[in-house]
Amino acid sequence: MVAGGATESNHAGYTGSGFVNYDNAPGGYVEFTVTAAAAGQATLGFRYANGTTANRPVDVSVNGVVRAGGVPFPGTGAWSTWRTATVTAPLVAGVNRVRATATTTAGGPNLDRLDVTVGTPATARPA
Ligand code: GCU
């Protein structure tokens, strides 16, 4: 769900069919529905582009609770250069609403997708 933004495809490098261009205003948001098999801490990776040199801060909430305020989304060098900003937040088992809300008059970055990893990535070694 997108409010205060539009889906566009005029900058290369996005995945899927496009990305969200937030309005240049506070309060616009992109909300993702994430279904988790079990409750647990998750890594939320937001793939984005910001062709300016100023941060485009966003509050990240899960099920209405802000879990990461003012995530900066710094400039990536070009609107066609995409990077991933990660935050951690707890998910409940079942459906979660992950929302990224712009907090400044510049609006958010251009947002391509959300990658979710539930649980702590671990490395196991023999012996
Ligand atoms: C440019 C760019 C958009 C971007 C916008 C912005 O217009 O083409 O993709 O969203 O700047 O500053 O937010």
Percentage of the chain exceeding pLDDT 90 = 91
Contact 49, 112 (CB under 8 A): yes
Average pLDDT across the chain, whole number:
96
Average the pLDDT over 30-43 and give the result.
95
Residue 114 has pLDDT above 70, yes or no: yes
Residue 111 has pLDDT above 70, yes or no: yes
Tell me, what's the pLDDT at 120? 66
Residue 75 has pLDDT above 80, yes or no: yes
Pocket test for ligand 1, best of 56, 73, 79 (most atoms within 8 A of CB): 79
Between CA 86 and CA 42 the distance in angstroms is 10
Tell me, what's the pLDDT at 121? 64
Q: Is 104 in the pocket of ligand 1 (CB under 6 A)?
A: no
Tell me, what's the pLDDT at 45? 96
Q: Is 48 in the pocket of ligand 1 (CB under 6 A)?
A: no
Banded model confidence at residue 48, pLDDT cuts 50, 70, 90 = very high
DSSP 51-115: -SSS---EEEEETTEEEEEEE-----SSTT--EEEEEEEEE-SEEEEEEEEE-STT---EEEEEE
Contact 56, 106 (CB under 8 A): yes
- The three-state secondary structure class of 122 is coil
Tell me, what's the pLDDT at 126? 87
Tell me, what's the pLDDT at 105? 98
Residue 127 has pLDDT above 80, yes or no: no
